[in-house]
Structure formats: structure tokens, C-alpha cells
Amino acid sequence: MLDATLYERIGIAIGSTGLALLIGLVVVAAAGHNPLLFAQQLVVGSFGSTGAFTRTLRFTTLFILAGVAVAIAFRAGVFNIGVQGQLIVGGIACVLSIIWLAPFVPAGAVGGVGLTLVGLLAAVVAGGLYAALPGVLKAYYGANEIITTIMLNFIAIGIVGWAVDGPLRPDDARSVRTEYLPEGVAFPQLVFSDPNFSIVGLALALAVVGVVAVGMARTSFGYDMVTSGYQTSAARFAGVDPQRTIVATMTLSGMVAGLVGAVFAIMVQGYFIDPSGIGTYGFDAIAVSLLAANNPVGVVPASLLFGALESSGSHVQIHSDVPVQLIDGIVGVVVLFVAAPELFRMIAKRTGLGGDRR
């Protein structure tokens, strides 16, 4: 794995995914269920109707953005495990900025577009600042970013959860949520009629993929990011400030993560909910990034796979007798098989194990 090329790593990831799904079918059969019917329901639940397809694209959009956020950090040798917390902070910042500014903005389409842009910007800034904190702690104080980002996940969930269930909760709200976003604050429904998905959100995610891919492969900043993460001494010798670059890498990763929260709030919910009820997009994105060999472009098909699995889960549960625990277990096997080879590779790079370099 240490000497594997990018294409070999992608091939290994695809093979691992196929093997994991095959083992999942064997487990379904061993549990006394029909594996062929289960496989059919997986496909139908993901792509079998317009509703299923749009639901898959909705999850795919969120996984693309979250996967790119993880890939930025992992590609630079920094372990950002805090994407979940950063998307929560970005999402609540998006909603609050829109709600607070709405009284000062004229109603109508123009005002809605302006508020939407403000919310996206607020989410990017908030997510970037929240990720910059563990970056500073790692770069200047030697703190382990895995520990600090995990801790910041729980801090974000706790504080935002308290706020949404307390001062930010409307008096007439029966569930834990903020106020609804004003009318006009939404992504336009250009292709599909699903109220929880817009092709604009998917286009935004793909645009982020393109910008990040070009930036990391074709710019000096992208080169500095990768060099500072893996060869600090070489980066310093070349005139690069590795500490500043590590902070910039974490900030950029958090900016994209904050965008996940904004897209979730604007496109899916129309308000913000208790963070404990938000899907684990930030954690699942780690497997998405590893499946893509930490390549921003590869995140797109990897996100489509995880979006399809997420979309088909509820359909399989309703239309078959396979218990939901078994479905979650199969998804877990996929994550394990996908993550293991890349984790071995990353450990080898960090520790110098894995044989002689060629």
C-alpha cells in the first residue's frame, strides 16, 4: 500500500467495496433472508423511482461536500475528524445570520437570494474558524489533532443542542428547532420537484470539487499543503512556513465542512434542528474520502455509493423482512473494508513502516 499508485489504490477501494457487499449478501443469506431480494431492494431503493433517485442525490450532495472537507486535510497529512462539529457550527451560523438579517432585507426573490448567499458565507466563515482552532493547537503547541477535533465535535453538539432547545427555540415549536427560514431562502427547483433536494445544491458541491482539485494539484498553495503535512523539514527548507500552512489546511477543510451545514439547513430542512438528530455525514465522510484515496474528484463516485446505501436503507426496511440492524451492519462492513487499506497506508507513511521505498 505504501508504494501503490493512485489508480492501484482506487482499484483496491473498488475491490474492497465489492467484496464487502458480497460478504453482506452472504450474511443476509445466513440470517435466513433472501439475498437476491435484498440486493434488488437496494437498487430499487436507490434508483428505482424518481423519488428514490432524488433522495440518493440529496445524500450524495452532502457526502460530496463532507468528503472533500476530509480529503483536504487527509491529503495534507492532517487528520480532521471534526467535520461533524464543523458542519454543525456552520449550519447554525447560516440559519442565525439569515434569521437576524431578514428584517433588514426586502422581501422577494432578490432578497431571498441575498440572504441565501449571506447564509452560505456565514457557514463557510464559522466552519473555517472552528477548524482553525485545532489547527493552531497542532501547529504551534503540538496537540494531537485527532483528539482535539473529536472533543470539538462533542462541544459543538452540546452547545448548539442547548441553544436550539433553549433560547433559539420558538415558543410554538413542538420539536427542537430554530425558527423557519424566510420564504425565498432556498435553492431553486430547476429539475426535480423534491422539496428536500435541488440540483443547484449538487452543482454547488461539484463546483467545490473542481475548485479544490485544481487548487491542490495546480497551485503552489496545494503543493505547500501536502509538503507541510508529510515533510515538515523539507517544507521549511523550501521557505514554506509549515505551521501556518497546517492552520490554513485545517481552515480550508473547515470552510468546506461549514458549507455542508449550510446546504443541509437551506436545501433539506429550512431551519436547524437538534444536532443529535442530524445524520452522521461528517463521520461517514471519512470512509468516503478513504474510498476515493483522498482525491477530491474520486469523492464524487464514492459519495454516490454511500448516498445510494443511505437512501436504500429505509426502503429495504419497509419492503423486506431484513432488520435495520443487519442493514447497518452491512454498511459498517463496507466502511471497514474500504478504510482498512488506506489506514494501513497512512500509518506506514507516518511511522516509516512498510518496507523499503522504491
SS3 readout for 284-340: HHHHHHHHCCCCCCCHHHHHHHHHHHHHHHHHHHHHCCCCHHHHHHHHHHHHHHHHH
Predicted local confidence at residue 327, as pLDDT: 76
What is the rounded CA–CA span in Å between residue 273 and residue 74? Answer: 29
Tell the burial category of 221 from Cβ atoms under 10 Å away from its Cβ (0-12, 13-18, 19+).
middle
Half-sphere exposure of 100 (CA within 13 A, CB side): 10
What is the rounded CA–CA span in Å between residue 230 and residue 294? Answer: 14
Q: Residue 32: phi, psi to the nearest 5?
A: 90, 15
Are the C-beta atoms of residues 70 and 250 closer than 8 Å to each other?
Answer: no
Tell me which residue of 151, 181, 152, 155 sits closest to 273, measured CA to CA.
181
Are the C-beta atoms of residues 331 and 60 closer than 8 Å to each other?
Answer: no
Instruction: Enter the C-alpha cell of residue 235.
Output: 517544507
- Within 8 A by CB and 6+ apart from 197, the residues are 54, 55, 57, 58, 61, 267, 268
The angle, 0 to 180 degrees and rounded to 10, between the axes of the packed helices 242-263 and 220-230 is: 110
What is the rounded CA–CA span in Å between residue 157 and residue 130? Answer: 13
What is the rounded CA–CA span in Å between residue 293 and residue 341? Answer: 10
Predicted local confidence at residue 163, as pLDDT: 96
Predicted local confidence at residue 320, as pLDDT: 76
Q: Model's pTM, two decimal places? A: 0.90
How many residues appear in the chain?
358
Q: Residue 46: phi, psi to the nearest 5?
A: -100, -40
Reduced to 3 states, what is the DSSP secondary structure of residue 44?
Answer: helix
Are the C-beta atoms of residues 209 and 295 closer than 8 Å to each other?
Answer: no
Predicted local confidence at residue 230, as pLDDT: 66
Tell me which residue of 290, 285, 324 sits closest to 307, measured CA to CA.
285
Are the C-beta atoms of residues 69 and 216 closer than 8 Å to each other?
Answer: no
Predicted local confidence at residue 358, as pLDDT: 42
Predicted local confidence at residue 40, as pLDDT: 87
Sequential pLDDT tens for the chain (358 residues): 677 777 787 788 788 888 888 998 898 899 888 888 888 888 898 998 898 999 999 999 999 999 999 999 998 889 999 999 999 999 999 999 999 999 998 888 889 999 999 999 999 999 999 999 999 999 899 999 999 999 999 999 999 999 999 999 998 888 999 999 998 899 998 888 888 999 999 999 999 999 999 999 889 888 888 777 667 677 777 788 888 888 999 999 999 999 999 999 999 999 999 998 898 899 999 989 988 888 899 999 999 989 998 888 878 877 777 777 777 787 788 778 877 777 777 677 667 666 554 4
